[in-house]
Amino acid sequence: MKLTVIAALVAGAVFTAATRLGPTAPGQPAVPVAVVVTTYNAAGARLIQTIHERNAITRLANDVDRLLPARNPSFGCPPDNGSRYEAVFSYRNGGRTTLIARQTGCEQVVIAGEYWGSGAWSNPRLLEDLDALFPPSWQTHF
């Protein structure tokens, strides 16, 4: 019994850590219950995955929480071919948060209108973990 309670508390702590994804209401924990992820390739084709697996959602939420604020790189970005991920995180309270992550160029991430970095200076795990949600033929292999 004690072990079950401790495990529940640890799981709750992991989900509330994703502060960038959480609803803005005071006292509302950030608990995404589902993520709908769409990948767009350079030709404009798209594939949609709906994720309910708690471990995958936790991994994405933790990746997002580790992002650093965007900055102007001191170097030119590689070409951007338009490929991207769009993820909509859904919460128990009915709230939603939208994330857009560019797969090429400077790999910019936008969360609810706020810019974050995802490249080597920030947290490339987000792009890797988003990529892993799709079949191999759709993966970018970051």
Q: Give per-residue pLDDT as tens, 127-136.
A: 899 999 998 8
pLDDT at 88: 93
pLDDT, greater one: 124 or 40: 40
Give tens-digit pLDDT for 3-35: 433 343 334 433 333 446 654 444 445 668 999
pLDDT band at 107 (very low <50, low <70, confident <90, very high): confident
Report the distance separating Cα 94 and Cα 135, nearest Å.
29
State the sign of the Cα–Cα–Cα–Cα dihedral 120, 122, 126, 127.
negative
pLDDT at 125: 86
Cα dist from 23 to 91, 95, 117, whole Å = 8, 6, 21
pLDDT band at 122 (very low <50, low <70, confident <90, very high): low
pLDDT at 18: 41
pLDDT at residue 65 greater than cutoff 50: yes
pLDDT at 87: 94
Of the candidates 130, 94, 96, 100, the one whose C-alpha atom is nearest the C-alpha of residue 114 is: 100
**Contacts of 102 by beta carbon, 8 Å cutoff, 6+ apart:** 80, 83, 84, 108, 109, 118
